[in-house]
Amino acid sequence: MTSLADAELMQALPYARRYARALAGSQQAGDAMVADALRAGLPDLPGRLALYAGVTRLAATDAPGNLSAMERQLLLLTSLEELDVAQAAQVVGLDEAAAQRQLDHARTALRQATATDVLIIEDEPVIAMDLRMLVQRCGHRVSGVAASEAEAVRLANERPTGLILADVNLGRGGDGINAVRRIMASVKVPVIFVTAYPERLLTAEEVEPAFIMSKPFDPLTLAISTYQAVTAGQLPIE
């Protein structure tokens, strides 16, 4: 049992929710995992690592796709949550060398993952171009790039879409979450939301996204986020 101060736990909660939601594939299941981890008692680890470890203990041990459950956990911890290998190893209960071997295998498997058609919703042209290149480097196809709610809904209904990558703030073009809600009325696909302020979408105070990626992002973070969303994802918002 850890003796983490309440203030330290509160600071770590949004990041534990992001990790748990990405593992579980939905907001409801992920937030329940965090609550269960707190009730069960956390292991004796520093700060955020204790919460991550508590969630990991409750995670499913099987996983769809060509990555094992532990490989997914390590990838999410080192890419989405930005832990180093030594910290991630502590969370999952491996020594550092074993964790590194699993990560190396997982990264190779990611490059062999099934490609899908990605709709990008982003109003900033430079960021949209960067996302397009990153998505293609991950082996996916870009089905379209939308700069507004209306354009996003039109493209989602006109073109094959296996995944949506959506900015939350579309400026004058509207709101990314509203765009996804409208799309979900007719097209059911996993979604990753991109935001510079992920903690604002991780309060558990209302219906929120299951998959959230922080800006700025790198190719590996995008690769594991898209893989996890496609293979473990459920509906992102209700």
Is the per-residue pLDDT at 99 higher than 70?
A: yes
**13-68 tens-digit pLDDT:** 889 998 998 888 777 888 899 999 999 999 988 888 999 999 999 987 776 667 78
The reported pLDDT for the residue numbered 205 is 57
Evaluate whether 186 touches 157 at the Cβ level (below 8 Å). Answer: yes
Cα(160)–Cα(165) distance, integer angstroms = 14
Cα(191)–Cα(182) distance, integer angstroms = 13
The reported pLDDT for the residue numbered 238 is 38
The reported pLDDT for the residue numbered 6 is 73
Q: Delimit the domains of the chain by residue range.
A: 6-111, 117-232
> Quick one: tokens of 36?
């269960």
Evaluate whether 99 touches 85 at the Cβ level (below 8 Å). Answer: yes
Cα(94)–Cα(56) distance, integer angstroms = 12
Question: What percent of the chain stands above pLDDT 90?
Answer: 34
The reported pLDDT for the residue numbered 8 is 80
Is the per-residue pLDDT at 198 higher than 60?
A: yes
Percent helix, percent strand, percent coil in the chain, to nearest 5: 55, 10, 35
Residues 143, 146, 150, 153, Cα dihedral to 10°: 30
Residues 27-30: contacts with CB under 8 Å, at least 24 apart: 27/204, 27/207, 27/208, 27/209, 27/210, 27/237, 30/210
Architecture label for domain 6-111: Up-down Bundle (1.20)
Is the per-residue pLDDT at 223 higher than 90?
A: no
Mean pLDDT (the chain, rounded): 83
Query: Before 216, cis peptide (omega within 30)?
Result: yes
Architecture label for domain 117-232: 3-Layer(aba) Sandwich (3.40)
DSSP state of 46: -
Is the per-residue pLDDT at 216 higher than 80?
A: no
Is the per-residue pLDDT at 155 higher than 50?
A: yes
Cα(39)–Cα(57) distance, integer angstroms = 13
pLDDT higher at 207 or 150: 150
Residue 25 falls in which region: left (phi positive, over 0), alpha (psi -120 to 50) or beta: left
The reported pLDDT for the residue numbered 199 is 65
Lowest mean pLDDT among 5-19, 58-72, 169-183, 190-204: 190-204
Q: What is the average pLDDT across 94-108?
A: 92
Q: How many CB atoms lie within 10 A of CB 11?
A: 14
- When pLDDT is cut at 50, 70 and 90, the band that residue 73 belongs to is very high
- When pLDDT is cut at 50, 70 and 90, the band that residue 150 belongs to is very high
- When pLDDT is cut at 50, 70 and 90, the band that residue 175 belongs to is confident
Is the per-residue pLDDT at 77 higher than 90?
A: yes
